[in-house]
Amino acid sequence: MTDWDDGRPPPADQPPSMGRLVEQVSEQATRLVRAEIALAKAELADKAKRSGIGVGLFAAALVIVLYAVGVLIWSGIIGLDEVWPLWLSALVVGVAMLLLAGLLVFVGVKLLKQAARRPETIDRVKDDVASFKEGISR
Protein backbone atom coordinates (compact mmCIF):
# COMPACT_ATOMS: atom_id res chain seq x y z
CA MET A 1 0.00 0.00 0.00
CA THR A 2 1.55 3.30 -1.03
CA ASP A 3 -0.85 5.83 0.55
CA TRP A 4 -0.52 4.63 4.14
CA ASP A 5 -4.26 5.04 4.85
CA ASP A 6 -4.06 3.28 8.21
CA GLY A 7 -2.96 6.49 9.94
CA ARG A 8 0.70 5.66 10.27
CA PRO A 9 3.15 8.17 8.89
CA PRO A 10 4.87 7.02 5.74
CA PRO A 11 8.50 5.97 6.01
CA ALA A 12 11.08 8.64 5.28
CA ASP A 13 11.96 7.09 1.93
CA GLN A 14 8.30 7.05 0.80
CA PRO A 15 6.49 10.44 1.00
CA PRO A 16 2.67 10.49 1.03
CA SER A 17 0.90 10.62 -2.30
CA MET A 18 -0.64 13.80 -3.71
CA GLY A 19 -4.13 12.36 -3.16
CA ARG A 20 -3.39 11.75 0.51
CA LEU A 21 -2.03 15.29 0.93
CA VAL A 22 -5.15 16.80 -0.67
CA GLU A 23 -7.33 14.65 1.59
CA GLN A 24 -5.44 15.83 4.68
CA VAL A 25 -5.78 19.48 3.63
CA SER A 26 -9.50 18.99 3.07
CA GLU A 27 -9.96 17.35 6.49
CA GLN A 28 -7.99 20.06 8.26
CA ALA A 29 -9.88 22.85 6.47
CA THR A 30 -13.19 21.26 7.47
CA ARG A 31 -12.08 20.97 11.10
CA LEU A 32 -10.89 24.58 11.09
CA VAL A 33 -14.17 25.91 9.69
CA ARG A 34 -16.20 23.87 12.20
CA ALA A 35 -14.07 25.13 15.09
CA GLU A 36 -14.44 28.74 13.93
CA ILE A 37 -18.23 28.33 13.62
CA ALA A 38 -18.41 26.90 17.15
CA LEU A 39 -16.37 29.83 18.45
CA ALA A 40 -18.60 32.32 16.62
CA LYS A 41 -21.69 30.71 18.20
CA ALA A 42 -20.13 31.04 21.65
CA GLU A 43 -19.25 34.70 21.04
CA LEU A 44 -22.77 35.50 19.81
CA ALA A 45 -24.32 33.74 22.83
CA ASP A 46 -22.13 35.85 25.13
CA LYS A 47 -23.16 39.03 23.32
CA ALA A 48 -26.84 38.08 23.57
CA LYS A 49 -26.42 37.55 27.30
CA ARG A 50 -24.75 40.95 27.72
CA SER A 51 -27.48 42.60 25.66
CA GLY A 52 -30.14 41.01 27.84
CA ILE A 53 -28.47 42.29 30.99
CA GLY A 54 -28.18 45.78 29.45
CA VAL A 55 -31.87 45.83 28.51
CA GLY A 56 -32.78 44.61 32.00
CA LEU A 57 -30.77 47.45 33.56
CA PHE A 58 -32.56 49.95 31.30
CA ALA A 59 -35.91 48.56 32.46
CA ALA A 60 -34.83 48.81 36.10
CA ALA A 61 -33.70 52.40 35.52
CA LEU A 62 -37.07 53.24 33.97
CA VAL A 63 -38.95 51.88 36.99
CA ILE A 64 -36.69 53.83 39.36
CA VAL A 65 -37.17 57.03 37.34
CA LEU A 66 -40.94 56.59 37.50
CA TYR A 67 -40.79 56.20 41.27
CA ALA A 68 -38.38 59.13 41.54
CA VAL A 69 -40.75 61.38 39.59
CA GLY A 70 -43.56 60.31 41.91
CA VAL A 71 -41.45 61.04 44.98
CA LEU A 72 -40.35 64.43 43.60
CA ILE A 73 -43.95 65.41 42.85
CA TRP A 74 -45.03 64.21 46.27
CA SER A 75 -42.18 66.17 47.89
CA GLY A 76 -43.19 69.35 46.08
CA ILE A 77 -46.79 69.01 47.28
CA ILE A 78 -45.74 68.27 50.84
CA GLY A 79 -43.17 71.09 50.73
CA LEU A 80 -45.85 73.62 49.96
CA ASP A 81 -48.16 72.35 52.68
CA GLU A 82 -45.89 71.27 55.50
CA VAL A 83 -42.77 72.43 57.28
CA TRP A 84 -39.27 72.23 55.83
CA PRO A 85 -37.85 68.86 57.09
CA LEU A 86 -40.57 66.61 55.60
CA TRP A 87 -40.31 67.73 51.99
CA LEU A 88 -36.53 68.15 52.22
CA SER A 89 -36.19 64.52 53.19
CA ALA A 90 -38.49 63.47 50.34
CA LEU A 91 -36.48 65.63 47.94
CA VAL A 92 -33.22 64.00 49.04
CA VAL A 93 -34.75 60.53 48.50
CA GLY A 94 -35.96 61.52 45.02
CA VAL A 95 -32.56 62.89 44.00
CA ALA A 96 -30.84 59.75 45.32
CA MET A 97 -33.19 57.61 43.22
CA LEU A 98 -32.40 59.64 40.11
CA LEU A 99 -28.66 59.25 40.75
CA LEU A 100 -29.12 55.48 41.06
CA ALA A 101 -31.09 55.41 37.79
CA GLY A 102 -28.31 57.38 36.09
CA LEU A 103 -25.75 54.84 37.28
CA LEU A 104 -27.86 51.95 35.95
CA VAL A 105 -28.25 53.68 32.57
CA PHE A 106 -24.49 54.26 32.37
CA VAL A 107 -23.74 50.58 33.05
CA GLY A 108 -26.48 49.46 30.64
CA VAL A 109 -25.13 51.63 27.80
CA LYS A 110 -21.63 50.29 28.41
CA LEU A 111 -22.85 46.67 28.20
CA LEU A 112 -24.87 47.34 25.02
CA LYS A 113 -21.86 48.98 23.34
CA GLN A 114 -19.73 45.93 24.15
CA ALA A 115 -22.39 43.62 22.74
CA ALA A 116 -22.75 45.65 19.54
CA ARG A 117 -19.15 45.05 18.42
CA ARG A 118 -18.62 42.63 15.54
CA PRO A 119 -17.37 39.16 16.58
CA GLU A 120 -13.66 38.67 15.92
CA THR A 121 -14.32 35.16 14.68
CA ILE A 122 -16.00 36.45 11.52
CA ASP A 123 -12.83 38.32 10.55
CA ARG A 124 -10.70 35.26 11.33
CA VAL A 125 -12.89 33.01 9.15
CA LYS A 126 -12.61 35.50 6.28
CA ASP A 127 -8.82 35.56 6.72
CA ASP A 128 -8.72 31.75 6.77
CA VAL A 129 -10.79 31.49 3.59
CA ALA A 130 -8.62 34.10 1.85
CA SER A 131 -5.44 32.27 2.91
CA PHE A 132 -6.86 28.97 1.72
CA LYS A 133 -7.84 30.45 -1.66
CA GLU A 134 -4.42 32.06 -2.00
CA GLY A 135 -2.75 28.72 -1.20
CA ILE A 136 -4.84 26.87 -3.78
CA SER A 137 -4.14 29.42 -6.51
CA ARG A 138 -0.37 28.96 -6.20
Residues 6+ apart with CB under 8 A from 86: 78, 79
Closest CA to 50 of 111, 119, 122: 111
Q: What angle do CA 102, 93, 85 make, to 5 degrees?
A: 150
Task: Using 70 as the pLDDT threshold, list the residues of the chain that sit under it.
Answer: 1-13, 77, 79-84, 138
Separation CA 135–CA 138 (nearest Å): 6
Which pLDDT score, from 0 to 100, does residue 92 have? 76
Which pLDDT score, from 0 to 100, does residue 7 have? 64
The predicted model scores a pTM of 0.43
Closest CA to 112 of 37, 36, 58, 31: 58
Radius of gyration from C-alpha coordinates of the chain: 31
